[in-house]
Amino acid sequence: MFVETEEFAERLHAMGDLEREAAYAAVSQWFADHADSITHHVHLAPVHTATTVRMGEGEPVVTDGPYAEGKEVVSGFAEVEVADLDEALKIARSWPACPVVEIRPIS
C-alpha cells in the first residue's frame, strides 16, 4: 500500500506543472519497470472523498472521512506476485512517490 503523508501531499501540491509531470512520469516508469510482477494496482480517490462505516454495539455509524484519524493515508495499492518478502522489499525500495510503502501478504 502506498501511504501519503501531509508533507508529501503539500510538496506535490506546491510543485510546478513540469515538476509534477516529472513526478508522475517517475511513478509511471516504476509501474513499467515492475510490470512483470504487478498483477493489479489502484490509485484511490483523495481522502476527503472517503466514507467510513464503524461497526459496534447497535447500528453501524456512517461518517465522512477516512477510517482512521491521522496524518498518513493510504493513497493506493499494487498487488505484486513475488517469491518472498525480500523480493517485495526490493520492489518497494524503488517506489518513487509517497514516502511510506506498507507490504502485506494476501490470503
Domain boundaries defined on the chain: 2-101
pLDDT digits (tens, 9 = 90+) for 75-98: 899 999 999 999 999 999 999 998
Residue 13 has pLDDT above 80, yes or no: yes
Q: Using alpha carbons only, give the angle 44, 70, 27 rounded to the nearest 5 degrees.
A: 35
Q: Supply the pLDDT for residue 67.
A: 63
80, 33 Cβ separation under 8 angstroms: no
Residue 78: name the closest of 45, 50, 43, 47 by CA. 43
Q: Supply the pLDDT for residue 23.
A: 95
Q: What is the largest CA-CA distance in the chain?
A: 51
* Rg (alpha carbons) of the chain, rounded to whole number: 16
Q: Which fold has domain 2-101?
A: Alpha-Beta Plaits (3.30.70)
- The identity of residue 33, as a single letter, is D
User: What is the rounded (10 degree) CA torsion for 95, 97, 100, 102?
Assistant: -50
